[in-house]
Amino acid sequence: MENMMIRRMDFAFQSDMDIVFIKDDPDMSFMFLGAWMMLPYLEPFLIRTMRDALPHITDAKLKEDLKRFCAQEGEHFKQHAKANDFIRSLHPSYEALRPLEKELDQELKDFTKNKPLKFKLAYAEGFESMTSAMSRAQLEVGLYDRTSSPLADLAKWHVMEELEHRSVAFDIYEHVVGSWFYRMKQSIWSQKHYFSWVKRFQKILVAPQADLIASYATPEITARRKAYNKHYMRRGIPRVLKTYMPWYDPSKVDLPPQFEAAREHYSHIATALS
Ligand SMILES: [Fe+2]
Ligand SMILES: [Fe+2]
């Protein structure tokens, strides 16, 4: 893929930033925050997987794509680790996140060591295809444009770069493995695996936040949230389903105009660009 930029970022995370960074939606905000607790372990797993694949790649352009993919994911997990430090400091009960983080790290390191390359590449592609399908919908509906939390800014930068490198894990899977049925079967397995972990992190994050969550339970906010989420899911879910099809090709998907605008914006505010 062309145009994968490596952007070094400096987000203004603060301990008093709004953690309900999805407007009107504490549940979705905590779901994302739970997912983000995983990223300093999951994205290194993706990088390790790509490095394992490198000796099997005979195409020079694909090798360059792989390096850029790893550089982008490397910056993603570093930025998320910074945000996670703030999030972990918000409540004493969030110390319970640490053993869970350790358990996840161990499991993914075990995958790297003991699972076959095709399993790891299909896992990576299952994660990447799902996130890029949802990222398109998120940019299109302006999911991260409705609060001024730096967490929304982090999310928008991340999903934009997920779209920039949306074809890399797919192309490498096709080059090294190539079976559609295995990709589809394993994508579903990896997505279930991922969400089972998200739920465990989310549960810890939500536990001390009953008052905050209740403050968003008014009929007016609930109605607004339901209408908005319908609008978002109608765009996201069909695109995820299309990734399971034998003819799925991430290089051929339509991208919303908000993607180019976000690319320009984050290239402009990056502290370094290459
Ligand atoms: Fe990422
Ligand atoms: Fe990615």
Q: What pLDDT, on a 0 to 100 scale, did the predictor assign at position 15?
A: 81
Q: Ligand 2 centroid to 163 CA: how many Å?
A: 8
What the block records as the tokens of 64 is: 């360059």
Q: What pLDDT, on a 0 to 100 scale, did the predictor assign at position 3?
A: 83
Phi first, then psi: give them for residue 244, nearest 5 degrees: -85, -10
DSSP 8-class letter at 252: G
Ligand nearest to the CA of 42: 1
Q: What pLDDT, on a 0 to 100 scale, did the predictor assign at position 14?
A: 87
Residues with Cβ within 8 Å of residue 221, at least 6 apart in sequence: 24
Q: Using CA atoms, how far apart are residues 72 and 163, in angstroms rounded to an integer?
A: 11
Q: Ligand 2 centroid to 162 CA: how many Å?
A: 5
Q: How many helices (H) and strands (E) does the chain have?
A: 10, 2
Contact (Cβ atoms closer than 8 angstroms) between residue 168 and residue 83:
no
Q: What pLDDT, on a 0 to 100 scale, did the predictor assign at position 35?
A: 98
Residue whose tokens read 């739920």: 199
| Strand ranges inside the chain, DSSP E | 7-8, 272-273
Ligand nearest to the CA of 80: 1
Q: Ligand 1 centroid to 1 CA: how many Å?
A: 16
Q: What pLDDT, on a 0 to 100 scale, did the predictor assign at position 183?
A: 97
Q: What pLDDT, on a 0 to 100 scale, did the predictor assign at position 24?
A: 96
Residue-wise burial string across 55-65, b where 16 or more C-beta atoms lie within 10 A, e elsewhere:
eebeeeebeeb
Contact (Cβ atoms closer than 8 angstroms) between residue 157 and residue 7:
yes
Count how many residues are written for the chain.
Answer: 274
* Domain residue ranges in the chain: 27-273
Q: Using CA atoms, how far apart are residues 76 and 9, in angstroms rounded to an integer?
A: 9
Q: Ligand 2 centroid to 38 CA: how many Å?
A: 13
Block mean pLDDT (10 aa), the chain, length 274: 85 90 97 98 98 97 96 98 95 97 98 98 98 97 96 98 97 97 97 98 98 97 97 97 97 95 96 94
